Amino acid sequence: MSIAAPADLRSTHSRGLWRGRLFVAALLLSLAVGFLALGTLVIDVVVKGIAYVDPVLLTNPPSSDPGIAGARPAILATLYLGVLLIAFTVPIGVGTAIYLEEYANKNRWYNRLLELNIQNLAAVPSIVYGILGLAFLVRGLGLGRVLLAGALILTLLVLPTVIIAAREAIRAVPGSIRDGAYALGATQWQVVWRQVLPAAIPGIATGSILALSRAIGETAPLLLIGALTYVSFNPTVMGPFTALPVQIYNWTRLPNPEFKALAAAAIIVLLAMILLLNAAAIWLRNRYQKRW
């Protein structure tokens, strides 16, 4: 909760008062501009596409006829990708963060290199992950152009985000909490599992929300891995696949203007899906939010 300055301690000095007010105004302006820009986008999309959000979109396979075209295979595939993504990224990302913050000796060169490495990976363009996936997962490991390969590549793409967010969350847990637990005889893992992690859940949740949101909207690496533009049957984890952003991308490129409206409708569905997938994380975050 935010701390209100007690009334009698508030500065009555007029210059300080106005500076304070100006500051709040500036902050609100930042918030407003951010929301305005993003909001305009969403409203624009909603206006264009809401008429096309209907059961047909959700249950039909794609078609060249915009009257009956739907995005069912794409929606299901994105759902599977989202679930797999959470299942992979959270354990590996949080595990790495715990290792770096709690177990690794920070003075060792290889641990510092690891830190630099992770930060660097965050800047690699998504298409490079596509190339990586094609070379090592699709061809190297022989997985083929399957949904699982797509999920793995997206995992690698957003792992740095989760790791960095988790690290900051773990770092922010006060040392006194740890010391207290050690003083009571806890082992290192017990301290981490029972004290540090629960306290760090909000930050970890934020990281996973941002990561999931980004990954679900990615197109380029999936295209390279072999996401198809026409698939009329439901996806399986080890089968050919498409994804909602790929479907949207394909529809926007088609000349028929009706497909552009369908694309907007699909974007609305995509945003709803992100909200759904993130709902659990948001709930967890609100529940475990602590203020030291």
Partner 1 sequence: MGIRPLILAGAIAAVALLPAGCGRSDTQGASAAGPSTTSSGAKLSGRIEADGSSTVGPFVTAAAEDFQAQNSGVQVTVGISGTGGGFERFCNGETDISDASRPIKDDEEVPVCQKNGIDYTEFQVANDGIAVVVNNDNDWAKCLTVDQLTKIWGPDSQVGNWNQVDPSFPDEKLTLAGPGTDSGTFDFFTKEINGEEDASRTDYQATEDDNVIVQAVEGDKGGLGYFGLSYFEQNQGNLTDVEVDGGSGCVAPTTATVQDGSYTPLSRPLFVYVKNTSLAKPEVKAFVAYLIDNQAQIAEKALFVPLTDEQAQKSKSDFEAGTS
Partner 2 sequence: MATPAVPLPLAPARKRWGEVVIKGALALCALVSVATTVGIVIALFVPAAEFFGHVSFVDFITGTEWAPLFLQASFGVVPLIVGTLSITFWACLIAMPLGLGAAIYLSEYARPRVRGALKPALELLAGIPTVVFGYFALTFVTPLLRDLGLDVEVFNALSAGLIVGVMIIPTVASLSEDAMAAVPRDLRYGAYALGSSKLQVSTRIVVPAAVSGIVAAFVLGISRAVGETMIVLLAAGQQPNLTFDPRQAVETMSAFIAATGAGDVPTGSLEYKTIFAVGATLFVLTLVVNSVSIRLVRKYREVYE
Subset of residues 269 to 288 that bind partner 1, contact rule: CB under 8 A: 269, 272, 275-276, 278-279, 282-287
- Check: CB of residue 246 under 8 Å from CB of residue 229: yes
Residue 256 binds which of partner 2, partner 1, none (CB < 5-8 A, kind-dependent): partner 1
Please give the structure tokens belonging to residue 288: 């475990």
Scanning 54-62, 66-74, 111-119, 234-242 for contacts with partner 2 by CB under 8 A, the matching segment is 111-119
Residue 161 binds which of partner 2, partner 1, none (CB < 5-8 A, kind-dependent): partner 2
Among 169, 250, 251, 266, binds partner 1 (CB under 8 A): 250
* Contact flag: residue 150 with partner 2 (CB under 8 A): no
- How far, in Å, CA of 236 to CA of 77, rounded? 8
SS3 state of residue 103: helix
**Shortest Cβ distance from residue 64 to partner 2 (Å)?**
21
* Helix H or strand E encompassing 265: helix 257-288
Among 188, 230, 238, 290, binds partner 1 (CB under 8 A): 230
- Check: CB of residue 111 under 8 Å from CB of residue 284: no
Determine the residue type at 85: L
Angle among Cα 9, 12, 15 to the nearest 5 degrees reads 130
Please choose, from the candidates 232, 249, 267, 211, the residue with its C-alpha nearest in 3D space to the C-alpha of residue 81: 211
Lay out the site mask for partner 1 across 200-229 (x = CB under 8 A, - = otherwise).
Answer: -----------------------x--xxxx
**Shortest Cβ distance from residue 171 to partner 2 (Å)?**
7
